[in-house]
Copies of this chain bind each other. A is one copy, B any other.
């Protein structure tokens, strides 16, 4: 069992830290929210008054933060992880951020003797609560193996997909494909409904052939019913599409499909649907075709 400092006890981080406590680790957490700290104490963890204190003495530092600026602050600040973790410590960043920032953390961490993994997850709040997250990991094989007990406590599957930043790239690729699939299914629905087709029957046919997808399997009924309760919110997918485009820019590739999907999701948000499930891309498709009136 390890001594773990856990920074970021929000919707995702809170249950993850709890699972680590449950697995027998000695967890000291930090978050800006007093409620979050109280939750961890109630779950049997310790809490700290700042990042440096949470990191002090830890063998593993785990972070789960909203976006690049928070990761930069927590990693590079005077009170931060790099300045305060002992050489040899394993740093696992579960945040979904740009590959560029993950690589910078790994590079500067390595310069201080830290072993850094980027480990973004998919599966959402439910996956975190149920400890069945899917974890995409960038870093070295040795560090990945060392982190296995941590991953096993919070996730169902975890895979090393390449060097530092690779976890973020795969997460970005995942969000590109997921967002794009919603956009395609949305256009298919609007086309069928506008043409007087039985869209439910039509989607059944699609789901039975080469057009089949997880999205069609689990979301076609709710999309047809216009039930857009989250699930994974448009606002979060919008943030992730920013990462997709930054990742593509960083890798020197052109992603016209991804860029269009990003704009459709930006439109969903601009139209006031940021708090709905990302399947609400259907509302943008309807709107473009004047079918929301």
Contacts and interface: CB of A to CB of B under 8 A. Distances in A.
A176 B170 contact: no
A205 to B, nearest CB: 5
- Copy number in the complex reads 4
A188 interface: yes
A209 to B, nearest CB: 5
B262 A290 contact: no
Contacts of A248: 191, 266
Interface string A180-215: 110111011011101111100110111011111111
Interface residues of A, number: 84
A127 to B, nearest CB: 10
Contacts of A288: 253-254, 256, 263, 267, 270-271, 284, 288
Given A159-B204, A201-B162, A290-B267, A174 B209 contact: yes
Given A177-B206, A210-B122, A211-B177, A191 B264 contact: no
Interface of A: 99, 122-123, 134, 136, 138, 157, 159-163, 165-166, 169-170, 172-174, 176-178, 180-181, 183-185, 187-188, 190-192, 194-198, 201-202, 204-206, 208-215, 242, 244-245, 247-264, 266-267, 269-272, 284, 287-291, 293
Nearest 9 A-B pairs (CB), nearest first? A173-B188, A270-B290, A253-B289, A213-B213, A212-B214, A254-B267, A177-B211, A180-B184, A194-B251
